[in-house]
Amino acid sequence: MHVATTPLATTVRTAAPGRPLVAGIAGASGYAGRELVRLLAGHPAIEVGQRQARSDGYDPLDCDALAACDIAFLCLPHGESSAFGNALAEAGTPVVDLGSDFRQADDWTYGLTELARDAVAGSTRVANPGCYATAAILALAPLAEAGLLDGPPAIDGKSGVSGAGRAPSEKTHLPSVHGGVQPYSPTGHRHVAEIEQALSGLAGEPRRVTFTPHLAPHSRGLEVTCYARLTRPISQAEAETLYRDRYAGEPFVRVTQAPHPGLLHGGNACDLGVWVDERTNTIIAAAALDNLVKGASGQALQNANLMLGLDEGLGLVADGLGA
Amino acid sequence: MHVATTPLATTVRTAAPGRPLVAGIAGASGYAGRELVRLLAGHPAIEVGQRQARSDGYDPLDCDALAACDIAFLCLPHGESSAFGNALAEAGTPVVDLGSDFRQADDWTYGLTELARDAVAGSTRVANPGCYATAAILALAPLAEAGLLDGPPAIDGKSGVSGAGRAPSEKTHLPSVHGGVQPYSPTGHRHVAEIEQALSGLAGEPRRVTFTPHLAPHSRGLEVTCYARLTRPISQAEAETLYRDRYAGEPFVRVTQAPHPGLLHGGNACDLGVWVDERTNTIIAAAALDNLVKGASGQALQNANLMLGLDEGLGLVADGLGA
Amino acid sequence: MHVATTPLATTVRTAAPGRPLVAGIAGASGYAGRELVRLLAGHPAIEVGQRQARSDGYDPLDCDALAACDIAFLCLPHGESSAFGNALAEAGTPVVDLGSDFRQADDWTYGLTELARDAVAGSTRVANPGCYATAAILALAPLAEAGLLDGPPAIDGKSGVSGAGRAPSEKTHLPSVHGGVQPYSPTGHRHVAEIEQALSGLAGEPRRVTFTPHLAPHSRGLEVTCYARLTRPISQAEAETLYRDRYAGEPFVRVTQAPHPGLLHGGNACDLGVWVDERTNTIIAAAALDNLVKGASGQALQNANLMLGLDEGLGLVADGLGA
Amino acid sequence: MHVATTPLATTVRTAAPGRPLVAGIAGASGYAGRELVRLLAGHPAIEVGQRQARSDGYDPLDCDALAACDIAFLCLPHGESSAFGNALAEAGTPVVDLGSDFRQADDWTYGLTELARDAVAGSTRVANPGCYATAAILALAPLAEAGLLDGPPAIDGKSGVSGAGRAPSEKTHLPSVHGGVQPYSPTGHRHVAEIEQALSGLAGEPRRVTFTPHLAPHSRGLEVTCYARLTRPISQAEAETLYRDRYAGEPFVRVTQAPHPGLLHGGNACDLGVWVDERTNTIIAAAALDNLVKGASGQALQNANLMLGLDEGLGLVADGLGA
């Protein structure tokens, strides 16, 4: 039985008894927007009231109609949420922005749910993390918090093509991608800033990272493998305990021997693996997730559930399709 | 026009004028053996005389028939070349072993061609490097030689399924692999020893590495991305110059902006990319190759050409199919 | 709101108010069994009580424990359900057999839901159709019923590798499959008999078909394209009307312009397309589905819902993940 | 040893002894153009003299420079070869057009090599067949010639995405293609006309076909499966003999048990399989090829070799990469 776990924030319009909460989605034609529609179709307490896609004639978007919803999700191209998101928030409508515009903004809550649950529950402006950032931060957080990171870790990311969005391009054309895994943006990816911001906050001191993403020949799914030198030697058992304790009780973060995005299509879990290479005093932490679910719309819904005072897992499953 | 570039080694049986050299292949039914047969079909000076696959009844292998060839290639499962390879070599037959048995053996030449060209040309016992090792060593060699490696680099490898061999398994079953990139053997891969041996030799001091391979949803092709802290800051321009100078004139090692195994199917090139992340004083060096060609049978043929006094590139092309 | 649409059959044990119905699954480790577990995890009225996989020590299976369940699903290898299924049915336990053993048995109901809804609802022995058969029969049924089939239609099937089961083999090894679509069993596939049985029943006369399946480089998903000569010319509009009328109101059969299994991963829909080639008096009818859902476990659950007097769609969604 | 097999046609400029023949390529940046460049790089008697791609500034194309070559290949978008091809031919330059403009033109030779070898050798205007058409015609020719086709056969084609060209589109975006095989253009594909033209010529009477192509989740490779009712019953053995006899001695058409495009990447072979379904008096004929080689640039080179009086197989191999 799913029940509200938190008092409703005062700025949230409470649904009348029996009336479902109404969600508005701006930018509903991209992969994130469509995934959100899919997830909300199975949500017991929220229904989609507004679905505004430019390709369907909503140009400009109808801000008033979105403001009248109980929750607004912005699935706009990066750079386009800025004025719009603040206008909605000022109108008192809880907003989850799936773009990158507000991820470094002071007056928005960075919504990596497991690290900011209470803040999200009390916020009406949530900046949803990037897909790579979600995976990398969850993989490195226990090390940052424990003071175990010696220098900047290296983060090697591999994403399926859906991570590049719905617009076709020469770079993501199937024949360009099909034959192997290739690096891109080796030093300047947009997600570096949010990863460093999050790790710095957890470590209590400025932390930097190296991050190189790769494009892989599949559609959904994302994996990052992080390599971090340790400030002191730890055993494999200690490492596993550190991670299991950190994420104990989390429904959507699981410590496993074999994280694999292929097991998570459609599910909201982030699976973590951790291994100590004692010969080089290096810890290897890997994270796998579905970039469209925990890496985007699933986490957005997880956040929205909290903002609306609902059970965090409503409308979500951890496991993916597998096979 | 292809002509011999090196005097024939004294232990090599010279072909009579007009007579092609004869190759023997032990273990011709696996991917490496089949690829060698494919490459030799287009070789102007070597033909396949013996092709012994256990699945075709050669059990035990006919050592005498192989010893009578001008060159023998061993494409046997790891661990099975040991007695056999030495027997052939003692019989005076030049041998290229594609397995891992002799890669740390003192009396065998480790045949990473670009780093051991002269030694290979003068050797009759060549241990062909592993596929990941070829990529990682070529990517890191300029840094090791220049004393730029500060501590153990992290090597993140991604291979298509053909790298796991021809025997099907649950791990490599298409539905297990199709949905994403997954890490395996995070700290204990067989290739670590040969990578460390090679880098230590180049650096003039013991070097260690962290290496985590990943299984990716394609067939041929392999990519490694290496992350190394630098002993001193260098610029992007310096890094590129270092790599371009190191591999100047090499027909099968190319420095590029976008290494991608998808462009190299069937070709013997190893494409390298190098990027400096100045914010973290880290260099990122990536290498892409076809694991069955430059990572196995192509490099074996490149070595055999040298051992037989032929042009190193005979029967090989650098470029792959693309698309 | 989901409510029972049919009175409970007398042989069905009614759950006490508030108590969920209990399902038993024999053979829970294969793809069909795992998919059933996934679907039942989201079912509001049925929970998994017995999950017996031989790989987990259930060898022999515990028939009594299964018989005590409200519904039993048999996900055993083809040929192994025979004695077991009848024993359960005789014990009064409703059984859905996902294997092929009972698909031609007189005392079992062939459970292609949309064509046998009432019979399924009144049955305790349901033989769940094969994946190809489900697609082909749904695609050809309107033509068979309307007497439009002139001679045996040709059915060209393409399935992802999960259709071949969880056991890896040389034939389904990723490198064997990755580079294209290949025919197999061109004339003798197991599903021919059930397709012909169903079409003969619908046409009221014996009908034969030619069926050639193909293995395609993906995991889930199946498509069939059927080519049938027409007994009389019909227009494109007539054909579409025929199909839309036949499946009007069906939640899991949809007539569309572009059936594509890639849109249906995890969903229980079968999408149909129909086109008339007037130049050759041929009708082309295509069907796409997820072979593990509508082609196996989803249809099994659809049938079980009917057998238990529940809403047919409980625990199922039509749409798949897309992207 | 490769030698000329046919006297040079009088309109062909003979290369001076020792001078390679010079090829000009118009439209060298698409997949077909690039594949031709790859093939010619390994050709012992032809080198690329002109390589004109619009993306490299050749807009308009330099017709005079192409006319000065020994052979011109047109790899232009469909519809753009028209004026250009005739101008070159009138200038006396042998032309192979890889587009569709001249495939129904009386004054051009339809260059399906195995069916028109002598005509091609004596022609200076060759229209290279389409990829699907090459496969379908080779699969059905023995039946058409033997008078065995009863009514229009159904041709079910499956192509990798490279067949749709290099321009990315929503339809061919990896996430749109990755999850299954989907039909497109079910009744109106451009290749129908050339298939019917060829079969009509072989049968000596007008023949029609139904053809439905499908898009499959791979890059190179194409397969067609043809279903034809027989005018008289034949046995499996007769069918195999018919096909083996028809293509006896052909280096690039092979009759096999298991045609599979995955074995043919980069090779010029078309592999055929034939099976009789006696129960329905239907013959199933399947053909597999690499759409960029035998389906485009390889066959173009095969034709050019003939037109230039060279061995037909120069610069080509039958086998593909496999694995």
Kindly list the distances between the CA atom of residue A152 and the CA atoms of A200, A281, D136, in Å, as whole numbers in the listed order: 11, 14, 58
* Residue C111 to chain A, least CA–CA distance (Å): 24
Residue B34 to residue D322, Cβ atoms within 8 A: yes
Give per-residue pLDDT as tens, C173-198: 999 999 999 999 898 788 899 999 99
Residue C174 to residue B179, Cβ atoms within 8 A: no
Percent of chain A with pLDDT over 90: 83
Residue with the larger pLDDT of the pair D82 and C134 = C134
DSSP D227: E
- Quick one: pLDDT at residue C7? 33
Mean pLDDT over the full length of chain C = 92
Contacts of C182 in chain B (CB under 8 A): none
Is B323 in the A-facing interface, judged by CB distances under 8 Å? yes
pTM of the predicted model, to two decimals? Answer: 0.94
Percent of chain B with pLDDT over 70: 94
pLDDT at C11 over 70: no
Contacts of C317 in chain A (CB under 8 A): 41-42
pLDDT at B2 over 60: no
Q: How confident is the model at residue A59 (pLDDT cuts 50, 70, 90)?
A: confident
Can B63 be counted among the known catalytic residues? no
Is B222 in the D-facing interface, judged by CB distances under 8 Å? no
For B13-44, b/e burial (b = at least 16 CB within 10 A) is beeeeeeebbbbbbbbbbbbbbbbbbbbeebe
Q: How confident is the model at residue A322 (pLDDT cuts 50, 70, 90)?
A: confident
* Residue D267 to chain C, least CA–CA distance (Å): 13
Residue D173 to residue A175, Cβ atoms within 8 A: no
Instruction: Answer for the pair D163, D214: CB distance below 8 angstroms, yes or no.
Output: no
pLDDT at C12 over 50: no
Give per-residue pLDDT as tens, D258-274: 999 999 999 999 999 99
Chain A with chain D: Cβ pairs closer than 8 A:
55
Mean pLDDT of A237-252: 98
pLDDT at B124 over 50: yes
CA distance C97 to C73: 6
Residue B229: closest CA among B277, B275, B285, B282? B282
* Residue C266 to chain A, least CA–CA distance (Å): 7
* Residue C34 to chain D, least CA–CA distance (Å): 20
Please, which residues 280-299 of chain C have a Cβ atom closer than 8 Å to chain D?
280, 282, 284, 286, 288
Mean pLDDT of A294-318: 98
B294 φ, ψ (degrees, to nearest 5): -60, -25
pLDDT at D67 over 90: yes
pLDDT at A237 over 50: yes
Mean pLDDT of D112-123: 98
Contacts of B217 in chain C (CB under 8 A): 174
Is D310 in the C-facing interface, judged by CB distances under 8 Å? no
**Residue D297 bridge partners (DSSP):** none
Please, which residues 109-128 of chain C have a Cβ atom closer than 8 Å to chain D?
none
Interface chains of chain B (3 or more CB pairs under 8 Å): A, C, D
- Quick one: pLDDT at residue D156? 98
- Quick one: pLDDT at residue B9? 31
Mean pLDDT of C227-253: 98
Residue C175 to residue B160, Cβ atoms within 8 A: yes
With tokens 């001695």, the residue in question is D249
**Residue B13 bridge partners (DSSP):** none
Is C135 in the B-facing interface, judged by CB distances under 8 Å? no
B contact test, residue of D2, D38, D178, D290 with most B CBs within 10 A: D38
Residue A261 to residue B227, Cβ atoms within 8 A: no
Interface chains of chain A (3 or more CB pairs under 8 Å): B, C, D
CA distance C134 to C115: 10
- Quick one: pLDDT at residue A6? 34
Contacts of D38 in chain B (CB under 8 A): 319, 321-322
Give per-residue pLDDT as tens, C28-85: 889 999 999 999 999 999 999 999 998 888 888 999 999 999 999 999 988 888 888 9
Mean pLDDT over the full length of chain B = 92
Q: How confident is the model at residue A60 (pLDDT cuts 50, 70, 90)?
A: confident
pLDDT at A238 over 50: yes
pLDDT at C5 over 60: no
Is A182 in the B-facing interface, judged by CB distances under 8 Å? yes
- Quick one: pLDDT at residue C128? 98
Contacts of C261 in chain A (CB under 8 A): none
- Quick one: pLDDT at residue D58? 85
DSSP B314: T
Instruction: Answer for the pair D289, D131: CB distance below 8 angstroms, yes or no.
Output: yes
Is A266 in the C-facing interface, judged by CB distances under 8 Å? yes
**Three-state secondary structure along C74-119?**
ECCCCCCCHHHHHHHHHCCCCEEECCCCCCCCCCCEECCHHHCHHH
Mean pLDDT of B17-45: 92
Contacts of A40 in chain C (CB under 8 A): none
pLDDT at B16 over 80: no
Residue with the larger pLDDT of the pair A2 and D121 = D121
Is C168 in the A-facing interface, judged by CB distances under 8 Å? no
- Of A63, A69, A75, A131, the catalytic one is A131
Residue D69 CA to its chain's centroid (Å): 23
Instruction: Answer for the pair D221, D288: CB distance below 8 angstroms, yes or no.
Output: yes
pLDDT at D282 over 60: yes
Residue with the larger pLDDT of the pair D4 and D278 = D278
- Quick one: pLDDT at residue C6? 34
**Residue C255 bridge partners (DSSP):** C272
Is C214 in the A-facing interface, judged by CB distances under 8 Å? no
Q: Collect all residues with Cβ–Cβ distance below 8 Å to A231 and sequence separation of at least 6.
A: A147, A148, A149, A150
**Residue D44's closest chain B neighbor by CA?**
B1
Q: How confident is the model at residue B54 (pLDDT cuts 50, 70, 90)?
A: confident
CA distance D72 to D66: 6
Is A42 in the C-facing interface, judged by CB distances under 8 Å? yes
Is C177 in the B-facing interface, judged by CB distances under 8 Å? yes
Q: How confident is the model at residue D17 (pLDDT cuts 50, 70, 90)?
A: low
Instruction: Answer for the pair D223, D139: CB distance below 8 angstroms, yes or no.
Output: no
Residue C173 to residue B172, Cβ atoms within 8 A: yes
pLDDT at C156 over 80: yes
C-alpha distance across the termini of chain A, in Å: 29
Residue C284 to residue D208, Cβ atoms within 8 A: no
Is A170 in the B-facing interface, judged by CB distances under 8 Å? no
| Strand bridging mode C210-215 / C182-183 | antiparallel
- Quick one: pLDDT at residue A5? 34
CA distance D69 to C141: 59
* Residue B320 to chain D, least CA–CA distance (Å): 9
pLDDT at D208 over 80: yes
Active site residues of C: 131
Residue D218 to residue A177, Cβ atoms within 8 A: no
Q: How confident is the model at residue B45 (pLDDT cuts 50, 70, 90)?
A: very high
* Strand ranges inside chain B, DSSP E: 21-26, 46-52, 71-74, 95-97, 109-110, 125-127, 154-159, 182-183, 210-215, 222-229, 253-255, 270-277, 282-289
Residue B230 CA to its chain's centroid (Å): 26
- Quick one: pLDDT at residue D16? 57
- Quick one: pLDDT at residue C28? 85
- Quick one: pLDDT at residue D14? 46
Residue D288 to residue C180, Cβ atoms within 8 A: yes
Is A231 in the B-facing interface, judged by CB distances under 8 Å? no
Question: How many degrees, rounded to 5, is the angle at CA B250 between CA B245 and CA B253?
Answer: 90
Residue B168 to residue C166, Cβ atoms within 8 A: no
Residue A322 to residue C38, Cβ atoms within 8 A: yes
- Quick one: pLDDT at residue D81? 86
- Quick one: pLDDT at residue B78? 81
A245 φ, ψ (degrees, to nearest 5): -65, -45
DSSP C7: P
* Residue D272 to chain C, least CA–CA distance (Å): 11
Token pair recorded at residue C186: 């061109």
Specify the DSSP element, H or E, that contains C298.
helix C298-307
